[in-house]
Amino acid sequence: MSVSSQASRFASDISLSFVGSDHEHRVDVKSLLGMALLPIRHGSVVRLQTRGRDELEALEYMLNVLEKGIT
């Protein structure tokens, strides 16, 4: 199951961002295409943000998903 499909189970907005060589990149984690095209390199520091009625649950769940490397 993809990260995007995992994120879609929550009502909250979920975004991932990181600073690349030229500027900050930000994507809606629920966007499969956006996640696929995000140029994250191994070792990059990323920020996961959630906003909405189930934001804490979404943040905890998505951190777990990303830490385990489920894609």
Q: Average pLDDT of 3-7?
A: 93
Q: Is the dihedral of CA 32, 36, 39, 40 positive or negative?
A: positive
Is the pLDDT reported for residue 70 higher than 80? no
64 Cβ partners below 8 Å, 6+ apart?
none
Is the pLDDT reported for residue 11 higher than 90? yes
Domain boundaries, the chain: 3-69
Is the pLDDT reported for residue 39 higher than 70? yes
| 3-69 classified as CATH 3.30.1340.10 | yes
Mean model confidence pLDDT for the chain:
89
Query: Which tens digit of pLDDT belongs to each residue from 43-69?
Result: 888 899 999 999 999 999 999 998 887
